[in-house]
Amino acid sequence: MAVTAETVATYRAAKAFLLSAWIGALLLFASFTQLYLAAALGSNRQQAWSLGLGIVMAALGGWMSWSSNRYYNRLDFPWRRRWMVGAILTAGSGGLFWLLFLLLQTLQFFGVKVLPQ
């Protein structure tokens, strides 16, 4: 079956943006595990580095996932649309974990007892 060079280029671009969206989503999701590592580390300096790394990973992963999804939708080439939905759900769950963490930190800041001593 003969296809045009433009179709091949669009197909390759869709694959690249889909892969980039997945890498960003997984980076965003994995950034939350840095919080567990920060809680497990002993010194405050190590905790600060671990938390900082998690925030950088979340920002980079969110940006990668969001921009790749935007470009993928601009191509209007519905190649593996289910995989893009999966990447969005993965990135969304990572973002939701960070929002819950921020909510717990806000409650703790205002004096609400979050965890037992």
Q: Where are the domains of the chain?
A: 8-109
- pLDDT of residue 60 exceeding 90: yes
Separation in Å, CA 77 to CA 10, 52, 68, 106, 114? 7, 37, 14, 42, 47
Residue range 5-28, pLDDT digits in tens: 998 999 999 999 999 999 999 999
Quickly state the pLDDT bin for 103 (edges 50, 70, 90): very high
Structural element, H or E, at residue 106: helix 81-109
pLDDT at 78 over 80: no
Contact 64, 20 (CB under 8 A): yes
Average pLDDT over residues 19-38: 89
Instruction: Categorize the per-residue pLDDT at 1 as very low, low, confident or very high, splitting at 50, 70 and 90.
Output: confident
Taking only the tens place, the pLDDT of each residue in 44-57 is 888 888 888 989 99
Verdict on whether the full-model pTM lies above 0.85: no
